[in-house]
Structure 1
Amino acid sequence: METRNPAAEPWQRTATDLADAIRRREVSSVEVVRSCLARIEQTNPRLAALVDIRPDEALADARRADRDVAAGGELGPLHGVPVSTKINTDQRGHVTSHGVAALAGRPAEGDAACVTALREAGAILLGRSNAPAFSYRWFSTNALHGRTLNPWDATRTPGGSSGGASSSLAAGMTPIAQGNDIGGSIRYPAACCGVVGIRPTVGRVSGWTPPAYADTPAGPQQIDVPPTVQACAVEGPLARTVADARLALHVMTTPDLRDPYGIPAAPVPLPEGVKAKVTVVRGIGTVKNHPAVDRAVTEAAARLAEAGHEVEELDDLPLLAEAARIWALLIYEDFRPMLPLVNDVGDDGIRTSLRYSFGAAAAIWGERPSLETYIQGWARRASLITRLQELLGTERVLLTPVCAEPAFEQDADIASPERAAELIAAMWPMAAVPVLGFPAVTVPSSLSDGLPVSVQLIGGRYAEERILDAAQAIEDRTPRFLPPLGPG
């Protein structure tokens, strides 16, 4: 567990610690922002994790934050603390580029709901995190902003689509990052870079955002949100510690009924001493785990048992396998109408990745699944949600791998159709959760061959506090891993 160290450089301190220190006037927001900007200048040229960094704007916001502290008024829980936002999320005055040049010409006129929540909590928005084009890869490379590197190993993905967020956190550029997740895009990057990522229950954090447009040869084209994105995608935080991830989640929780799935409810802390029952699910019988993955799960299970949790192993959980298969149906069929736009304005990487991914999905569902098959997929999804909630109840969590492999080699999804299919099979823990809408958190538990290896905790719907408590128990008993990062 990370201990408070006031003597550390501000960029090295946690968001929880910094917010408290700023409130007590031990350090100013300007000092914190300058420290993070210096760290960005030192590390970002190599990693390409953050883009559209505006020091003058951030420092002006920090000065206002310090004036508010001096005035003695009420301060938000992240007052004066730097955070980053993702290039696919609207932030007023910044382009929501999605890593695509055709989308980079229109500065957003307003904020997405989750960005508004961060502002209202007093956060200083410091840079935009990189992502793949259209946020549809587990790699964070695009033709507009370039390739984001993993600070642990440049040959391995930092994850995607929130890879800029995870890389910047691991490097110390900010203590908290905003991300979003429909197929592991918060949880997987966090795991690749050895930080914490939580995907909340659908509706817990508002997904509302102003309408998006693409400049196409035929003129501006509004991009409507398909049903799977509405039902499965979430906004959420990544952070260097579980405590910071919890703080950021509480801040981002917004009772915003503009979101079709929004709920007017905030997380409720559990009574002290309550321990979740933990069921370990190592696989679904479709792919063999890398030894480092099995070792990470074993170590995490042992730490949970040490913390007083009742831990049991389950040989298989077929409903997770079925959920992962349904994800490959619903996600790709909802994205199919966007393929002409991707071919018009996307880069070679996203075109190739989608071609191979659609091929892998076709091996499961056929080349062009029928409308009846698609409707049956939605119907079956509802049945699986009920079954998983019945299994978890109010006191059980699942402990699973994040992926059957450690962090993928860069561009593995476009290496060959065969390799792309292997990736989709290996990522069953990331795919099964979003299609069912449950909350999940990934937390580091091991180090193997110089790479962090994490585990995933899945809870019942709206059980974010339960899985965060379990993640905290793992973090408390796991040595802190720091990447071998240098400025060169």
Structure 2
Amino acid sequence: MHNELWQWTATDLAQAIRERRVSSRDAVQSVLDRIAAVNPVVNAVVEVLADEALSAADQADAVVKAGVALSPLHGVPVTVKVNVDQRGCATTNGVVAFRDVIASEDCPTVANFRKAGAVIVGRTNTPAFSHRWFTDNELHGATRNPWGTQWTPGGSSGGAGAAVAAGMGPIAHGNDFGGSIRYPAYACGVAGLRPTPGRVAHFNPSATSERPITAQMMSVQGPLARSIADLRAGLAVMAGPDARDGNWVPAPLEGPRLAGPVRVALAADPVGDAAPEVRAAIRAAGRWLAEAGYAVEEVTPPRVVEAADLWHALVVNEERRFLEPLIRKYGDAKSRRNVDDHIAYAPRLTSDEILVGFERRQSILRDWNLFLARYPVIVLPVSHQLPFRDNLDQEDGNTVRALIDAQRSLLAIPALGFPALSVPTGLADGRPVGVQVVAGRFREDVCFAAAEVIERHAAMPTPIDPRP
């Protein structure tokens, strides 16, 4: 059984550990063996913490024997992204110059994993400065998509998505400012949750300054997994309190029951540029939800393009001030090319125009809230195209502009602050495809319920062995 445990879900592992049918050490060793077998091909886990993980597993097993109440992830192997602080590890953020930035404290997510008895087996890759939908950097190298090396594993949590898809841990930590959880989940055929801002506390003790305003408003930490049940367990653990984040909200994980039938807005082509395979995935999800008793209507939420363009206007203009100089100084060639194209895409705004943008955000948000009052669930694309060819963002300017345009449904959500879940629906032309499920603020439970319906029909065959 030990050799098969890397294939199990986190919830199954946690139950078996709780019932003493398997040990945490056996589960962790199985995942470490899997990392040793497939990570040389995928390069998702860039720091393996074998000794530390086995020691933590032994501690978790001792707690089981003590007969105390256990968390939903007790003894379960997980991974953490290299752009957050984990005591004793380098917070590299994929940058050569940061290879010796060793964290002396855990960030809230890592601290909450440890409190819950989860076992961190390794740290996953990200592009330099976590600023691409592709995962490659000069320090750690390129992460490969387990479904095929010609396609991106997504970014910036590409290491997290590839690790989960290939069986290198059932749950991975990621973060999402501009799609960095949802897009890797989509590209790798797994599930990924972008929680509501304020749901999961965050703070990097190694940081030398506070995060900029748009990051405080829009950047979140969340889980990637192969099942919606595992996302639920991951969120329950990650959402624990931490006084270091003044924006953390003690909101309940379950909200009031929605009166049925729950209405779903199905946006198969919200901008008019969705690939046929993407439109088909949205409509398949709609059929499955209708069969489950949801009231499904094909209708597009308001001002999607405007919300996505506002993301670029606000975020990129702030990046001109704080991130662009760092990438110019410390970034690799691909990260510099990437930031050049995002800066070219977004209009340069004056300080007054930026303030007007924040004011306009309230207007768009009001329209979405009114729309969600009528349709508590929205299903729309993650990306308007199938997972991109790897390194597509390094090609000519017109190609890159079309690439960014295709991510408008991805970018509209962080601009407005809603929770969103990427769930796979199957394969198209050998590539994973899926949909994005959106609900009202702090209604991750509504996203989970709809996604579980889709999951039952999709039945993605993960974990998989990496394909050439």
Partner residue of 1:121?
Answer: 116
Q: 1:8 to 1:350 in 2, by over 3 A?
A: same
Secondary structure in 1 aligned to 2:28? helix
Report the Cα distance in structure 1 between the residues aligned to 2:81 and 2:21, rounded to whole angstroms: 30
Secondary structure in 2 aligned to 1:453? strand
1:194 matches 2:179: no
Report the Cα distance in structure 1 between the residues aligned to 2:9 and 2:151, rounded to whole angstroms: 26
Question: Shift in Å at residue 115 of structure 1?
Answer: 1.3
Question: Shift in Å at residue 60 of structure 1?
Answer: 0.6
Question: Shift in Å at residue 274 of structure 1?
Answer: 5.4
1:456 matches 2:440: no
Q: Which amino acid aligns with 1:254?
A: G
Conserved? CA contact 2:303–2:364, under 8 Å? yes
Question: Shift in Å at residue 480 of structure 1?
Answer: 2.4
Report the Cα distance in structure 2 between the residues aligned to 1:264 and 1:486, rounded to whole angstroms: 40
1:325 matches 2:305: no
Conserved? CA contact 1:205–1:253, under 8 Å? yes
Question: Shift in Å at residue 272 of structure 1?
Answer: 9.6
Instruction: Determine which of 172, 176, 183 is the counterpart of 2:178.
Output: 183
Partner residue of 2:56?
Answer: 61
Instruction: Determine which of 330, 341, 356 is the counterpart of 1:356.
Output: 341
1:17 matches 2:2: no
Report the Cα distance in structure 1 between the residues aligned to 2:192 and 2:159, rounded to whole angstroms: 13
Q: 1:277 to 1:66 in 2, by over 3 A?
A: same
Q: Which amino acid aligns with 1:396?
A: P
Question: Shift in Å at residue 118 of structure 1?
Answer: 1.1
Report the Cα distance in structure 2 between the residues aligned to 1:191 and 1:63, rounded to whole angstroms: 34
Conserved? CA contact 1:84–1:128, under 8 Å? yes
Partner residue of 2:318?
Answer: 334
Q: Which amino acid aligns with 2:22?
A: V
Structure 1 residues 290-316: Cα deviation after superposition (integer angstroms, max 9, x where no partner): 1111111111111111111100011x4
User: Which runs of no fewer than 5 residues in structure 1 stay unpaired?
Assistant: 1-5, 213-221
Instruction: Determine which of 64, 72, 79 is the counterpart of 2:67.
Output: 72
Under a length normalisation based on structure 2, what TM-score does the superposition of the two structures give?
A: 0.96
Partner residue of 2:355?
Answer: 375
Conserved? CA contact 2:124–2:160, under 8 Å? yes
Secondary structure in 2 aligned to 1:457? strand
Report the Cα distance in structure 2 between the residues aligned to 1:486 and 1:280, rounded to whole angstroms: 33
User: Please, what is the CA RMSD of the aligned residues?
Assistant: 1.8
Structure 1 residues 53-111: Cα deviation after superposition (integer angstroms, max 9, x where no partner): 12111101111111111122232221110000001111111111000011121210111
Conserved? CA contact 1:360–1:420, under 8 Å? no
1:433 matches 2:417: no
Could you tell which deviates more after superposition, 352-361 or 33-42?
A: 352-361
Give the fraction of aligned pairs with identical amino acids, expressed as a percent.
43
Report the Cα distance in structure 2 between the residues aligned to 1:394 and 1:446, rounded to whole angstroms: 29
Q: Which amino acid aligns with 1:199?
A: R
1:226 matches 2:221: no
Conserved? CA contact 1:394–1:460, under 8 Å? no
Report the Cα distance in structure 2 between the residues aligned to 1:378 and 1:274, rounded to whole angstroms: 35
Conserved? CA contact 1:255–1:265, under 8 Å? no
Partner residue of 2:285?
Answer: 300
Report the Cα distance in structure 2 between the residues aligned to 1:255 and 1:70, rounded to whole angstroms: 27
Conserved? CA contact 2:25–2:57, under 8 Å? yes
Count residues in correspondence: 467
Q: How does 1:243-254 map to 2 (within 5 A)?
A: 243-254=229-240
Could you tell which deviates more after superposition, 462-471 or 104-113?
A: 104-113
Report the Cα distance in structure 1 between the residues aligned to 2:374 and 2:20, rounded to whole angstroms: 41
Question: Shift in Å at residue 319 of structure 1?
Answer: 1.8
1:476 matches 2:461: no
Partner residue of 1:86?
Answer: 81
1:282 matches 2:262: no
Q: Which amino acid aligns with 1:406?
A: L
Structure 1 residues 303-350: Cα deviation after superposition (integer angstroms, max 9, x where no partner): 111111100011x43422111010010110111122222111110000
Report the Cα distance in structure 1 between the residues aligned to 2:324 and 2:466, rounded to whole angstroms: 39
Partner residue of 2:329?
Answer: 344
Partner residue of 1:242?
Answer: 228
1:95 matches 2:79: no
User: Which runs of no fewer than 5 residues in structure 2 stay unpaired?
Assistant: none
Conserved? CA contact 1:357–1:420, under 8 Å? no
Report the Cα distance in structure 1 between the residues aligned to 2:3 and 2:88, rounded to whole angstroms: 33
Q: Which amino acid aligns with 2:165?
A: A
Report the Cα distance in structure 1 between the residues aligned to 2:374 and 2:74, rounded to whole angstroms: 34
Report the Cα distance in structure 1 between the residues aligned to 2:301 and 2:65, rounded to whole angstroms: 55
Structure 1 residues 150-173: Cα deviation after superposition (integer angstroms, max 9, x where no partner): 000101000000000000000001
Partner residue of 1:406?
Answer: 386
Q: 1:245 to 1:274 in 2, by over 3 A?
A: farther
Partner residue of 1:311?
Answer: 296
Report the Cα distance in structure 2 between the residues aligned to 1:444 and 1:196, rounded to whole angstroms: 6
Q: Which amino acid aligns with 1:464?
A: E
Q: 1:17 to 1:273 in 2, by over 3 A?
A: farther
Q: 1:48 to 1:126 in 2, by over 3 A?
A: same
Report the Cα distance in structure 2 between the residues aligned to 1:487 and 1:36, rounded to whole angstroms: 19
Q: 1:275 to 1:259 in 2, by over 3 A?
A: farther
Could you tell which deviates more after superposition, 294-303 or 333-342?
A: 333-342
